[in-house]
Structure 1
Amino acid sequence: MSFTYFAYGSNMLPARLNARCSTARVIGTAHAHSFGLEFSKPSKDGSGKATLIKSEFQEVVTPGVLFEIERSELRNLDRAEGAGYGYDRDDSFRVTCTSTGATLTATTYFASATEPELEPFDWYLALVLAGSHHHALYEDHLRRLQAINHVVDGDHSRKGRIEALEALSQHGYDDHHSLLRDPTA
């Protein structure tokens, strides 16, 4: 038995999610209507992580990726996402499938609390950008992500940084800073 997961942040990159849930396989892309994306979820490391933020405007859309994951790995995903400790899991989140236009119900995570002044670390934002590139999400979404202020993480021994750089490398990104630069600039 499996469940459908809507990833909109760092888990969009398959190597990142597969390190957490080995059975995860891509179904396709989708988008969440009336939800924006912020990096305002407080992390233990002091940076901001991605979260969806409800908008009153239907035209606000955040794209993401749908994965099918074996139900036996839900606890792994909860642990990786900090369910109950910073993120809340929603098992009935409605998204629209990009290829068919069908509305689907998926599992996703929302920040329990937000701090709008937070900024993501460079490597974390690079994961989100790499996942967006990998799945060919909207160009305007990529431009918005590249415009996000971020903090260069000076702690090169940080476990999260090391794991992120490994996932990026598996997808051919050996210079994560290249993802942060606008190629049209």
Structure 2
Amino acid sequence: MFYFAYGSNMLTARLAERVPTVRPVGRGWLPSHQLHFHLSGSDESGKCNILHTGDHSDIVHGALYELDADRLDRLHAAEGPPYTFLELEIGTPDGPIRAATYRGRSEYLDDELVPFEWYRDFVVHGGHEHGLPADYLAALESVPCQPDPNAERAEMNRRILRHTATNIRLSALR
């Protein structure tokens, strides 16, 4: 199955910690949506979410992966109850495809939330990794963020930023 990542899972090392095998496919985009960092995470900071706007000029850029649909338990557990797993049409350089993604449930949204620095860095580094447009990357880099008050959690996540995953496949999953 194809999976569209637009938040921290764009960083291949992050996604690779959550699923047994990942295969980066390329970049994609979701028209008529905006990216927000307003989903309440279990650590009470802002996480990424996509909002449908209906305005075709709104676009969320992200990374496409091929994942084993039968082995997503850890990914679903990591995303948790704040998200709904759904399938949407994603634009790609080769034309549209159907891909699964996550969208935040309304009861978990809070526009006052701000992401931790490490989380915003996951998104920014993942965007760079997948060659997202420069203006989009600049917008991600300008997202206000805050230091994580839990130094141990912050360091654990900083290690992920420095990690190179070994469960990445360059050929199709079978």
**Which TM-score applies when normalising by structure 1?**
0.84
- Following the alignment from structure 2 to structure 1, what is the Cα–Cα distance between the partners of residues 3 and 24? 10
Match of 1:133 in 2: 128
Number of aligned residue pairs: give it.
162
Match of 1:57 in 2: 55
Match of 1:42 in 2: 40
Identity %, equivalent residues: 32
Over 6 Å off, 4+ runs: none
User: Could you list the per-position Cα deviations for residues 50-86 of structure 1 after superposition, in whole angstroms to 9, with x for gaps in the alignment?
Assistant: 000111310111111110111222222111111xx11
- 1:12-27 mapped onto 2 (5 Å cutoff): 12-27=10-25
> Post-superposition shift, 1:119?
0.5
Greater RCO (Cα-Cα under 8 Å, separation 6 or more) = 2
Relative distance call for 1:26 and 1:116 in structure 2 (3 A) is same
Is the contact between residue 3 and residue 99 of structure 2 (CA under 8 Å) also seen in structure 1? yes
- 1:64-83 mapped onto 2 (5 Å cutoff): 64-82=62-80
Gaps of at least 5 residues in structure 2 are 165-174
Name the amino acid aligned to 1:148. V
Match of 2:162 in 1: 169
> Post-superposition shift, 1:131?
0.2
- Following the alignment from structure 1 to structure 2, what is the Cα–Cα distance between the partners of residues 47 and 115? 10
Match of 1:179 in 2: none
SS in 2 for 1:140: helix
Q: Is 1:93 aligned to residue 91 of structure 2?
A: no
- Following the alignment from structure 1 to structure 2, what is the Cα–Cα distance between the partners of residues 125 and 10? 8
**Which TM-score applies when normalising by structure 2?**
0.89
Match of 2:137 in 1: 142
Match of 2:114 in 1: 119
SS in 2 for 1:157: helix
Match of 2:2 in 1: 4
> Post-superposition shift, 1:89?
0.6
User: Could you list the per-position Cα deviations for residues 112-155 of structure 1 after superposition, in whole angstroms to 9, with x for gaps in the alignment?
Assistant: 12111111000000000000011110111111111111111121
Gaps of at least 5 residues in structure 1 are 172-185
Is the contact between residue 124 and residue 140 of structure 2 (CA under 8 Å) also seen in structure 1? yes
Match of 2:170 in 1: none
CA RMSD of aligned residues (A): 1.2
- Following the alignment from structure 1 to structure 2, what is the Cα–Cα distance between the partners of residues 164 and 107? 25
Is the contact between residue 27 and residue 131 of structure 2 (CA under 8 Å) also seen in structure 1? no
- Following the alignment from structure 2 to structure 1, what is the Cα–Cα distance between the partners of residues 36 and 97? 23
Name the amino acid aligned to 1:111. G
